[in-house]
């Protein structure tokens, strides 16, 4: 057994002498420069704001209003309910799916026209059906805003056409987006690029094609809603699913909402999660487990997240000798196969 002991000792020395390579800690990435006047990038899984600018500023929201419209409708109507189209709904103007007064549609199809094509006529038809009137529906929207804890939002219509009393913030839009994603049908519509409806009464084909040009172009984008008016500028609420992460980006008052959002999502994809940021610089530390490395800086939101992490319970450490490891057993079996029987082998 002396030969085995020598080999085991050599192997043990080799293992103990091995030093893991020192990996450079990643440098934190700076947020991009955007044309948007207000924006936010949110990691929904970690519940952390990765970057923002004027995120609580109250601003006109344009057609991203329809996220809230869809939420209120989903709360108060069944998908197969029939809706009679009024003159007011058919003639609301701007973006529309081509409704005619007197037609009957089901809620399911009107929601598709609302979120995919951003139809103002669909928005008004749903509002009148659910709230009895535009004003009644606006009251329901504000009640839903209070339920969601929105602190910088007020609604006066279901479509988002400009009104001084109709506004929200980038941060509030993140909350609305999360609520919409929890609704399977709304989430499905948000990622749909094209849907066909029944022809109009005069035989003209009607279909809704998405206004979100990132869908099907930027990998992982699954929604959510575009918007534009003269006062609001370009607005976009986007959702990116990347592996086990979900990022929500909002840009408001943008000169190029798709370009700005691409920049934000690229930045978010490069940004390390809290887990990665904490462990990255611990790799080269011999022993580790000490204070947070000086190269890592965490925001207040991230620190708050860490406070809820459960500590690992205390336990008793156990250390195996080389002889009791799988490698040790393989060395022993090899030695026995080549050593003479007189030395304890089988050969």
- Is residue 180 located within the same domain as residue 227? yes
Q: Which is more confidently placed, 96 or 128?
A: 128
- Is residue 147 located within the same domain as residue 262? yes
Annotated catalytic residue 108: no
Q: Which is more confidently placed, 101 or 25?
A: 101
- Is residue 64 located within the same domain as residue 213? yes
313 pLDDT higher than 50: no
Instruction: Identify the band that residue 331 occupies on the pLDDT scale cut at 50, 70 and 90.
Output: confident
pLDDT over 70 percentage in the chain: 72
pLDDT value for 203: 87
Cα 88 from Cα 323, distance rounded (Å): 85
pLDDT over 90 percentage in the chain: 61
SS (H, E, C) the chain: CHHHHHHHHHHHHHHHHCCCCCCCCCCCCCCCCCCCCEEEEEECCCCEEEEEECCCCCECCHHHHHHHHHHHHHHHCCCCCEEECCHHHHCCCCCCCCCCCCCEEEHHHHHHHHHCCCCHHHHHHHHHHHHCCHHHHHHHHHHHHHHHCCCCCECCCCCCCCCCCCEECHHHHHHHHHHHHCCHHHHHHHCCCEEEECCCCCCCCEEEECCCCCCCCCCCEEEEEEEEECCCEEEEEEEEEECCEEEEEEEEEECCHHHHHHHHHHHHHHCCCHHHHHHHCCCCCCCCCCCCCCCCCCCHHHHHHHHCCCCCCCCCCCCCCHHHCHHHHHHHHHHHHHCCHHHCCCC
Q: Which is more confidently placed, 186 or 296?
A: 186
- Is residue 212 located within the same domain as residue 173? yes
Instruction: Identify the band that residue 162 occupies on the pLDDT scale cut at 50, 70 and 90.
Output: very high
Judge whether 292 lies within some domain: no
* Residue with token string 């941060």: 171
pLDDT value for 318: 41
22 pLDDT higher than 50: no
User: Based on the structure, what is the number of domains in the chain?
Assistant: 2
Judge whether 322 lies within some domain: yes
Question: What are the pLDDT digits (tens) for 216-245?
Answer: 999 999 999 999 999 999 999 999 998 888
Q: What is the pTM of this model?
A: 0.73
- Is residue 333 located within the same domain as residue 196? no
Judge whether 309 lies within some domain: no
Annotated catalytic residue 63: yes
pLDDT value for 269: 85
pLDDT value for 1: 45
Least trusted range by pLDDT, from 3-12, 57-66, 301-310: 3-12
Interval 85-104 mean pLDDT: 92
| Residue from 66, 144, 169, 225 carrying the catalytic annotation | 66
Interval 175-186 mean pLDDT: 96
pLDDT value for 297: 58
Judge whether 282 lies within some domain: no
pLDDT value for 111: 97
Task: Read off the CATH number of the domain in which 226 is found.
Answer: 3.40.710.10
| Count of CB atoms situated within 10 Å of the CB of 281 | 18
The C-alpha angle with vertex 196 and arms to 190 and 197, in degrees rounded to 5, equals: 110
Asked if 278 and 296 count as a contact pair (C-beta separation under 8 A), the reply is: yes
Judge whether 149 lies within some domain: yes
- Is residue 116 located within the same domain as residue 256? yes
| Residue from 63, 153, 169, 254 carrying the catalytic annotation | 63
- Is residue 139 located within the same domain as residue 227? yes
Question: What are the pLDDT digits (tens) for 37-69?
Answer: 999 999 998 888 999 999 999 999 999 999 999
Judge whether 224 lies within some domain: yes
- Is residue 8 located within the same domain as residue 119? no
Annotated catalytic residue 238: no
Residue 8's domain spans which residues? 2-14+318-343
Interval 14-36 mean pLDDT: 60
Cα 314 from Cα 347, distance rounded (Å): 48
- Is residue 7 located within the same domain as residue 42? no
Question: What are the pLDDT digits (tens) for 259-278?
Answer: 999 999 999 988 765 555 54
Cα 232 from Cα 209, distance rounded (Å): 22
216, 244, 275 - which closes a domain = 275
| Residue from 95, 118, 153, 238 carrying the catalytic annotation | 118
- Is residue 46 located within the same domain as residue 112? yes
Asked if 253 and 58 count as a contact pair (C-beta separation under 8 A), the reply is: no
- Is residue 146 located within the same domain as residue 231? yes
220, 244, 275 - which closes a domain = 275
Judge whether 52 lies within some domain: yes
294 pLDDT higher than 80: no
pLDDT value for 46: 85
Judge whether 65 lies within some domain: yes
Q: Which two tokens stand for residue 250?
A: 């909002």
Sign, CA dihedral 93-99-101-106, equals: negative
87 pLDDT higher than 90: yes
Interval 315-335 mean pLDDT: 60
- Is residue 6 located within the same domain as residue 103? no
């Amino acid at each position: 057994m002396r030969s085995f002991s020598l080999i085991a000792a050599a192997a043990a020395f080799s293992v103990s002498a091995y030093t893991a390579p020192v990996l450079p800690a990643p440098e934190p990435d700076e947020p991009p420069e955007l044309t948007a006047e207000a924006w936010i990038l949110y990691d929904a899984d970690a519940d952390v704001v990765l970057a923002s600018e004027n995120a609580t500023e109250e601003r006109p929201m344009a057609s991203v209003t329809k996220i809230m419209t869809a939420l209120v409708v989903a709360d108060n109507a069944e998908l197969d309910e029939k809706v009679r189209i009024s003159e007011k709904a058919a003639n609301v103007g701007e973006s529309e799916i081509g409704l005619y007064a007197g037609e009957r549609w089901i809620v399911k199809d009107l929601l598709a026209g609302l979120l995919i094509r951003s139809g103002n006529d669909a928005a008004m038809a749903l509002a009148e059906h659910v709230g009895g009137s535009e004003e009644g529906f606006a009251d329901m929207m504000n009640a839903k805003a209070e339920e969601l804890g929105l602190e910088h939002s007020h609604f006066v219509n279901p479509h988002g056409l400009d009104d001084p009393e109709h506004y929200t913030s980038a941060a509030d839009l993140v909350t609305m987006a999360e609520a919409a994603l929890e609704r399977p049908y709304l989430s499905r519509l948000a990622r749909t690029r094209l849907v066909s409806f029944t022809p109009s009464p005069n035989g003209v084909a009607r279909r809704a094609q998405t206004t979100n040009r990132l869908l099907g172009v930027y990998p992982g984008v699954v929604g959510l809603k575009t918007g534009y008016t003269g006062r609001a500028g370009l607005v976009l609420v986007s959702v990116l699913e990347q592996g086990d992460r979900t990022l929500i980006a909002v840009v408001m008052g943008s000169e190029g909402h798709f370009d700005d959002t691409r920049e934000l999502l690229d930045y978010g994809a490069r940004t390390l999660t809290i887990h990665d940021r904490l462990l990255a610089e611990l790799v080269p530390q011999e022993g580790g487990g000490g204070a947070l490395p000086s190269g890592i800086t965490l925001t207040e939101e991230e620190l708050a997240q860490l406070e809820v992490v459960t500590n690992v319970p205390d336990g008793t450490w156990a250390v195996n000798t080389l002889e009791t490891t799988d490698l040790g057993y393989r060395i022993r079996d090899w030695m026995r196969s080549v050593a003479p029987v007189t030395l304890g082998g089988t050969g």
